[in-house]
């Protein structure tokens, strides 16, 4: 547990730091599990500073960042108005779209704090359910979500570069 950890909303000025952190953690966590070409395409499409800046500017998206001093150590991203076929009949829901913690700071409770803060914000916005998609080859994240009260509702496919991957769709009532 870091004594000087702060949680706050993401701002436009955070785009470069979030983009760098997300690209680095994604590469560190998953590059051994996918073709390098897919990784390159995905990072350039989804983690460029331009695409993160557009998401920071999107009224349907809320970023929560965990900071120590000026450094961003992790972030959670909430998205309204998104769904998947297996949860289309679930009302009043918001998506936890991303949860990333710096590879040098994992296992210190930052992910759990970001998750709790994201759930608290979602409940304050009036949502009754929070959902997420967790890659089938990511047991660490699945364990965190299971222990935090998320339950598998189904599965979805996710295009990463040129490859279709399977994600578990998990839901927690707020």
Where do contacts with ligand COA occur on this chain (CB under 6 A)? 25, 29, 99-101, 106-112, 134, 138, 140-141, 143-144, 147
Instruction: Return the residue nearest ligand COA (CB atom).
Output: 111
Whose Cβ is closer to ligand COA: residue 12's or residue 69's? 69
Q: How far is CA 91 from CA 17, 87, 158, in A?
A: 34, 9, 22
- Measured between its terminal Cα atoms, the distance across the chain in Å is 25
Which token pair is 166? 């399977």
Whose Cβ is closer to ligand COA: residue 110's or residue 122's? 110
CB of 122 to ligand COA, least distance (A): 16
Instruction: Enumerate residues 6+ apart whose C-beta is below 8 A from 91.
Output: 128, 129
Q: Which of 42, 100, 145, 150 is catalytic?
A: 145
Name the residue among 20, 99, 29, 23 with its Cα closest to residue 65. Answer: 99
Q: Is 100 a catalytic residue?
A: no
DSSP class of residue 14 equals G
Whose Cβ is closer to ligand COA: residue 59's or residue 143's? 143
- Cβ neighbour number for residue 85 with a 10 Å cutoff: 10
CB of 120 to ligand COA, least distance (A): 15
CB of 29 to ligand COA, least distance (A): 4
Q: How far is CA 55 from CA 20, 60, 136, in A?
A: 15, 8, 25
Whose Cβ is closer to ligand COA: residue 91's or residue 135's? 135
CB of 41 to ligand COA, least distance (A): 18
Whether the Cβ atoms of residue 56 and residue 10 lie closer than 8 Å to each other: yes
Question: Which residues are known catalytic residues?
Answer: 145
């Amino acid at each position: 547990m870091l004594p000087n950890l702060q949680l706050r909303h993401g701002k436009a000025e955070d785009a470069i730091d979030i983009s760098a952190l997300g690209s680095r953690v994604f590469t560190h966590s998953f590059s051994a599990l996918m073709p390098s070409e897919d990784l390159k395409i995905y990072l350039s499409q989804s983690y460029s500073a331009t695409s993160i800046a557009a998401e920071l500017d999107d009224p349907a998206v809320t970023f929560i960042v965990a900071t120590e001093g000026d450094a961003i150590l992790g972030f959670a991203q909430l998205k309204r108005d998104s769904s998947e076929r297996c949860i289309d009949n679930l009302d009043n829901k918001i998506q936890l779209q991303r949860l990333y913690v710096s590879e040098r700071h994992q296992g210190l409770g930052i992910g759990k704090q970001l998750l709790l803060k994201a759930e608290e914000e979602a409940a304050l916005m009036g949502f009754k359910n929070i959902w997420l998609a967790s890659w089938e080859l990511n047991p660490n994240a699945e364990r965190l979500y299971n222990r935090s009260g998320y339950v598998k509702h189904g599965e979805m496919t996710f295009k990463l570069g040129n490859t279709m991957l399977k994600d578990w769709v998990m839901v927690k009532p707020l």
